[in-house]
Amino acid sequence: MGKPLRLGIAGLGTVGASVVRIVRSNLSTLTLRAGRPVTITAVSARDRKRDRGVDLGGFAWYDDPVAMVADPNVDVVIELIGGASGAAETLVRAALAAGKPVITANKALLARHGVELARLAEAAGVGIGFEAAVAGGIPVIKTLKESLAGNTVTGIVGILNGTCNYILTRMEKEQLSFATCLAEAQRLGYAEADPTFDVGGFDTAHKLAILTSLAFGTEIDADAIYVEGITSISLDDIKAADELGYRIKLLGVARRTDTGIEARVNPAMVPKKSVVAQTSGVLNAVAFDGDALGEVVLVGPGAGGNATASSVIADIVDQARGHLTPVFGLPVVELMPYQKAEIQAHKGGYYVRLSVYDRPGAFAGIAKSMADRDISLESIVQHRRALDGEEALGHTGAPQPVVLITYATRETEIRAALDAIEAAGHIAEKPTLIRIESL
């Protein structure tokens, strides 16, 4: 049995406390699987008095996480502070400069500084483990770096944010509004007081940026990802999707194309029979397409203390075994510059919801705008709204909801058609456009 691997943990929130608990409760099993004892020797957090539900006795305590790096009894630094900059970035840079491996769950840090940090790790001859940074307890990083190493990956589609999946699931199952489901997610702790990072799609974008680099051998470029959130999704859209045989999910999608990589985060309609559509609540699902293996789908808990800590522990075992691989699967010098394929070049089917004025010429104008751009319609669904009061006394042209499903078309064309329809004054509010993924 080798000498102990000594851990220093910075950040004792839900995940950090779970890591401490799992290491202590599974110590004998962990030692056998790691091939050497694993022990926590030091911790760092802002509040020493806070009750975290775990015994922290016997650990060296550091108010300054960077000071913990210099502790000779710390072999591996575990960063669970969070954030793309600030204390987390300073700590990771200090650890790498000291030649100490890093394990992190910080997707924002990697999405913004991953390539630079990988370069520092290579120079120091140490690794950065980040299985916990994407999809919580699902081993998506190891799958891409190791299990699919013999495949050319052509596409990624995934539900990567449990908060959004919970909201959309509740909206469908209980016929509740977005605002109601968001409030419940906040009450249960699934969503922050300011939920923008989650419901705006940015959390998913950071995770997708990491997966894209691993899958396609490119440098990370989080800013190149097209991002839409779920704030515009209404109960009407949820109901229409159900009637048409779909469910709405917030997806991260990355595909290799002839012009570069198309990477986007957006709500999408997916067939109910698909595994992705059947992934409900706070669960995540990630599907990879490989040329040799075909499609691989991984489903599991994408967040939570124990799920995320499980992935941190997996990286600890790799460190204990001396398993060192390039951070993003390839040496930094071999990573290709990110070449972006414009999202407007995407071609597929679309769901369009319009609030159309009920007056002569409106539908003809809409049809012409579509036909002018060679857009064919697969179906048209109209549920007339009941009129009351003055509307019921005469022809007022009151807007009526209309849903259009298109055959495959380029996004440039469907957006141009909707711009023309809006400019012509045929609709009462901005159109809702949702991509359809065949999966």
Query: DSSP of 195-227, one letter per residue?
Result: -HHHHTSHHHHHHHHHHHHHHHTB---GGGSEE
Alpha-carbon distance values, 179 to 199, 203, 236, 405 (Å): 11, 19, 14, 26
- The partner residues of 217 in beta bridges, in order of sequence, read none
pLDDT of 394 strictly over 90? no
Reported as a single tens digit per residue, the pLDDT across 38-55 is 999 999 999 988 999 999
Has residue 396 got a pLDDT over 70? no
Tens of pLDDT, residues 55-104? 998 999 999 999 999 999 999 999 999 999 999 999 999 999 999 999 99
367-393 residue pLDDT tens: 999 999 999 999 888 866 555 544 444
Give the active site residue among 207, 272, 340, 368: 207
C-alpha to C-alpha distances, 242 to 45, 169, 237, 246, nearest whole angstrom: 47, 12, 9, 5
- The pLDDT of residue 75 is 98
Q: What is the mean pLDDT of residues 334-346?
A: 84
Q: 342 pLDDT band (50/70/90 cuts)? A: confident
Q: CA quadruple 119, 259, 415, 352: dihedral positive or negative?
A: negative
Q: Which amino acid is at 383?
A: H
- Encoded tokens for 406: 């298109």
Q: What is the DSSP string of 97-109?
A: HTT--EEE--HHH
Q: How far is CA 186 from CA 193, 282, 306, in A?
A: 7, 13, 20
> What residues contact residue 321 under an 8 Å CB cut-off, 6+ apart?
34, 35
pLDDT at 393: 40
What does the chain come to in residues?
Answer: 439
Q: Give the model's confidence band at 236: pLDDT under 50 very low, under 70 low, under 90 confident, else very high.
A: very high
Q: Are strands 153-159 and 226-227 parallel, antiparallel or unpaired?
A: unpaired
Q: Is 207 a catalytic residue?
A: yes
Backbone angles phi, psi at 370, to 5 degrees: -70, -45
| Average pLDDT, rounded, for the chain | 93
Domains of the chain: 5-133 (3.40.50.720), 140-302+337-343 (3.30.360.10), 346-436 (3.30.70.260)
